[in-house]
Amino acid sequence: MKNIMLVCSAGMSTSLLVTKMQKAAESRNIEADIFAVSASEVDNTMEKKSIDVLLLGPQVRYMKAKFETKLKSKNIPIDSINMQDYGLMNGEKVLEHALNLIDNK
């Protein structure tokens, strides 16, 4: 099971992308828990759930350094979602990016 957390400003704008990523995972027979939270919910969510990768929506990519500091000791990869993939809601490409980050940690 892969646990993929997407972070955006309000936790709602990424919900469509989450749905598309879930469909892409299902079509590839990949067990994944893909969910979105707001930036303010990250710490609380990480206390409750095991996370394999954290992807930042383009609107919160400026927070990457802050999250890198928090996640370094936990060995959780973090990156921003490609703006074009986000805009096109390309669940397949974003899922592939998340899986590559997990595999290369």
Q: Which of 4, 8, 46, 60 is catalytic?
A: 8
Active site residue 104: no
Greatest Cα pair distance, the chain, in angstroms, is: 34
CA distances (Å), origin 32, targets 67, 72, 95:
22, 22, 10
- Please give the positions annotated as active site: 8
